[in-house]
Amino acid sequence: MIYSKKIALVDSISNHYNQGYLQGSIGEYATAINHYNKVIRLDSNYKSVWFNRAICFENIGDKISAFWDMNRAIENDSSKSEYWAYRGELNIKLSDFKKGKQDLTKAIELDSSKRKYHYLRGFYSIQFGDTIKGKNDLWKALSIPDTNVVKIDSTKVKSLIKELRIKKYTLKCY
């Protein structure tokens, strides 16, 4: 009897998780959040439920809830680079560039093969005034083979770096 109840519970958790994932993938974020809430009530350490719910929260405009869910996702599994990268982006969107850059750096430490992480840290570094570090990250992003789904427009990055060079030399001339 106890064994069959455990199987039913696992099936229920899995079903709600899968429904949440499906609803989120078609843009039904509020419904997805409801399914993820049920998963969390039954097993708060289940797979990547906190990460997925954070994405849904951000998509409905609730960056604060997304941020807190990412904290919990990292508490549960700090070895996933995508968790650190996503929280880094959230920190920056919430105007905490320093913590955002730290999280992106941690994501790169965990998986330096992701172009996106170098690109994001480089882009945000430039936006917030650290052009040398930003330029280095952008060059690093370009040097990584494009095997990931994320496409980076290399001509855009190269023109941004060229623009930075022009600004640098213009400042030296005056």
Q: Which domains does the chain have, with CATH numbers?
A: 1-68 (1.25.40.10)
Is the per-residue pLDDT at 162 higher than 70?
no
Alpha helices (H) in the chain, listed in sequence order: 2-25, 29-42, 49-59, 63-76, 81-93, 97-110, 115-127, 131-143, 154-173
Question: What is the arithmetic mean of pLDDT over 104-124?
Answer: 95
User: What CA–CA distance (Å, rounded) separates 165 from 151?
Assistant: 24
Scan for tokens 């959040």, then name that residue. Answer: 33
| Pair 63, 93: CB distance under 8 Å | yes
The Cα–Cα gap between 10 and 60 comes to 29
- Determine the average pLDDT of the residues in 5-19: 75
- Report, as an integer, the average pLDDT of 119-124: 94
CA–CA dist 67, 114 (Å, integer) = 22
pLDDT at 11 over 50: yes
The pLDDT, as a whole number, for residue 174 is 32
pLDDT-derived band at 4 (thresholds 50, 70, 90) equals: very low
- pLDDT band at residue 93 under the 50/70/90 scheme: very high
In whole angstroms, how far apart are CA 54 and each of 3, 38, 63, 157, 171?
33, 15, 8, 29, 43
Q: What pLDDT score was predicted for residue 145? A: 85
Give the pLDDT score at 15: 93
Q: What is the pLDDT of residues 32-86, one digit of tens each?
A: 999 999 999 999 999 899 999 999 999 999 999 999 999 999 999 999 999 999 9
Question: Average model confidence (pLDDT) for the chain?
Answer: 86
Mean pLDDT of 130-135: 93
Contacts of 46 (CB under 8 A, 6+ apart): 13, 17, 39, 40
**For residue 156, is pLDDT > 80?**
no
CA-based R_g, the chain, Å: 20
